[in-house]
């Protein structure tokens, strides 16, 4: 309790003096949010910030006090959102033929927002707001803000218009030419999770807007303040209030809006169960970034031992393991085990503490669930606890959230591959939890078998400078974002590369022009045929 209080005083006290710099557009002060002074989130529809008849109280993840009031939009309140969605034409708000000047408009708005986010007080403001709603270390929170800002810088100026770049092909005769265009969907839906409350919604939302769509955005209610604050910054920088809608509330409400409004496309980031439900309900008109049981293979060549141990710890336990790209299973070659990697990982994990949020609340998995999973793994023959495996103590994190030490359970590869054990050994635990196993040179086919049998194919890493080994692993696996080389990781913010799963036609992407074109635009072919019309048409009859 004392450790949490000291951490909160440091974090919130530091933020108090910085909020004045963003007061012209900011609504929320992370230093002032408390049980006695809760922040009030809002919906946005038809260009107006509005409240719902009911609200739900969000508990502070560090002490359980209700510190946010979020609109609990009811089914009888969905009509304005449905009407807004239906009013959006299929041809979008703009396209290469209609209001193309809006591509330039978005480039200008984006440039202004990026410049605003470069101000230290604005970067700090968003970092502190992220910390308050989805607790993580300041380094992780501020890194999320910087990645978002770099994305915006990447798409400033003329870069939005370049997203709509098409192609042309010569025709069969004079006056004919075929043109391929990137075309908006029109009304779309964006549903985002809690773990990256700024980066994921902003990168996807801006991509949707750039391509000419009007999105209905639903951010996880635990962190919705972060999205609202960014949208208010967009308004401050010149965006019209009517460009997008925000609906807060429960999943059933958003589902009803979609059922009545018929969005032309949906991007969902979250659990696999919800993803599959949406795919069924909306006939596959959906892009997904769902589950992420992510593997890392340490090759036979041991180089940069300290760095690799540090990166493994970061990949597994930064943000308390609440990254869809978190290292879920680690395949250690015998050489790394002999070099003492298990001990090095345990030592690094032991330095994580609640005081600086290098480990903290787990917002989607309860403590007892994670501990029960540990016990189930330990029932596998030969399994052993490497480190962790206990609940955190000395805190006031509410029981609805999880709080455990960074944990690793060793499972022998031969046992992991058995049908009776594979499902439990590859179950994603969205918290500071990983499975570790060991392999030899002759076991490489068994390692690849494990990778083949996994259902989630988001991120992966092949840690080796052995080019032939790396090529063999890469050629036999499918993960959509795979890092290779001695500095390979599983977690990497998408500021300079594609990020997304593979092996599924619904697989989404984020962060790059290619990702934006894939998710937020469709292909339209226009064949221009202006003549001249040939004479002697009777000669052309077939």
Do the beta carbons of residue 97 and residue 272 sit within 8 Å?
Answer: no
Can you say whether the dihedral through the CA atoms of 287, 293, 296, 297 is positive or negative? negative
Strands (E), 165-293: 167-170, 176-183, 187-192, 214-219, 245-246, 265-269, 287-289
Active-site residue, from 4, 19, 247, 324? 324
Do the beta carbons of residue 322 and residue 428 sit within 8 Å?
Answer: no
The verdict on whether 289 is a catalytic residue reads yes
Alpha-carbon distance of 501 to 131, in angstroms, equals 27
Place of tokens 């955005």: 217
3-state DSSP of 98-155: CCCHHHHHHHHHHHHHHHHHCCHHHHHHHHHHHHHHCCCCHHHHHHHHHHHHHHHHHC
Do the beta carbons of residue 247 and residue 45 sit within 8 Å?
Answer: yes
Active-site residue, from 289, 342, 355, 428? 289
Buried b (16+ CB within 10 A) or exposed e, 431-452: bbbbbbbbbeeebbebbbebbe
Alpha-carbon distance of 85 to 429, in angstroms, equals 36
Where helices occur in 339-425 by DSSP H, the ranges are 341-350, 367-378, 413-416, 419-425
Phi/psi at 43 (nearest 5 deg)?
-90, 160
Buried b (16+ CB within 10 A) or exposed e, 527-539: eeeeeeeeeeeee
Tell me which residues are annotated as active site: 289, 324
């Amino acid at each position: 309790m004392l450790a949490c209080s000291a951490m909160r005083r440091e974090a919130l006290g530091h933020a108090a003096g910085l909020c004045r710099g963003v007061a012209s557009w900011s609504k929320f002060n992370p230093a002032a949010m408390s049980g006695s002074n809760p922040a009030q989130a809002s919906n946005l529809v038809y260009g107006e910030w509005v409240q719902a008849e009911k609200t739900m109280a969000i508990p502070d993840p560090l002490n359980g006090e209700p510190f946010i009031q979020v609109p609990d939009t009811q089914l009888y309140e969905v009509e304005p959102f449905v009407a807004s969605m239906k009013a959006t034409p299929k041809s979008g708000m703009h396209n290469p033929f209609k209001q193309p000047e809006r591509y330039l408009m978005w480039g200008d708005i984006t440039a202004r927002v990026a410049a605003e986010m470069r101000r230290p007080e604005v970067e700090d403001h968003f970092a502190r707001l992220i910390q308050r709603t989805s607790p993580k270390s300041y380094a992780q929170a501020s890194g999320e803000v910087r990645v978002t800002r770099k994305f915006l810088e990447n798409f400033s100026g003329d870069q939005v218009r370049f997203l709509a770049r098409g192609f042309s092909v010569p025709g069969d005769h004079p006056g004919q030419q075929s043109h391929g265009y990137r075309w908006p969907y029109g009304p779309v839906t964006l549903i985002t999770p809690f773990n990256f409350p700024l980066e994921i919604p902003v990168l996807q939302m801006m991509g949707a807007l750039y391509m000419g769509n009007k999105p209905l955005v639903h951010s996880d209610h635990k962190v919705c303040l972060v999205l609202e604050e960014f949208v208010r910054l967009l308004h401050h920088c010149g965006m019209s209030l009517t460009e997008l809608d925000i609906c807060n509330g429960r999943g059933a409400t958003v589902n009803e809006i979609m059922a009545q409004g018929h969005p032309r496309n949906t991007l969902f980031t979250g659990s696999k169960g919800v993803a599959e439900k949406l795919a069924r309900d909306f006939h596959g008109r959906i892009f997904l970034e769902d589950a992420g049981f992510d593997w890392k293979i340490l090759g036979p060549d041991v180089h940069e031992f300290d760095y690799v141990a540090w990166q493994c710890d970061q990949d597994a336990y930064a943000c308390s393991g609440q990254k869809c790209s978190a290292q879920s299973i680690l395949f250690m070659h015998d050489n790394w085990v002999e070099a003492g990697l298990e001990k090095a990982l345990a030592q690094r994990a032991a330095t994580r503490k609640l005081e600086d949020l290098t480990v903290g609340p787990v917002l989607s998995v309860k403590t007892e669930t994670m501990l029960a999973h540990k016990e189930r793994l330990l029932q596998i023959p030969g399994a052993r606890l490497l480190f962790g495996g206990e609940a955190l103590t000395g805190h006031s994190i509410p029981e609805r959230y999880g709080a455990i030490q960074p944990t690793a359970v060793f499972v022998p590869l031969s046992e992991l591959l058995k049908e009776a054990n594979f499902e439990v050994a590859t179950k994603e635990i969205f918290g500071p939890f990983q499975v570790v196993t060991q392999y030899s040179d002759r076991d490489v086919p068994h390692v690849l078998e494990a990778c083949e049998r996994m259902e989630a194919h988001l991120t992966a890493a092949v840690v080796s400078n052995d080019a032939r080994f790396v090529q063999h692993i890469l050629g036999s696996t499918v993960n959509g974002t795979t890092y290779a080389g001695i500095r390979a990781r599983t977690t990497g913010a998408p500021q300079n590369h594609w990020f997304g799963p593979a092996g599924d036609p619904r697989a989404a992407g984020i962060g790059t022009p290619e990702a934006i074109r894939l998710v937020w635009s469709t292909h339209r072919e226009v064949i221009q045929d202006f003549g001249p019309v040939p004479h002697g048409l009777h000669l052309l009859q077939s």
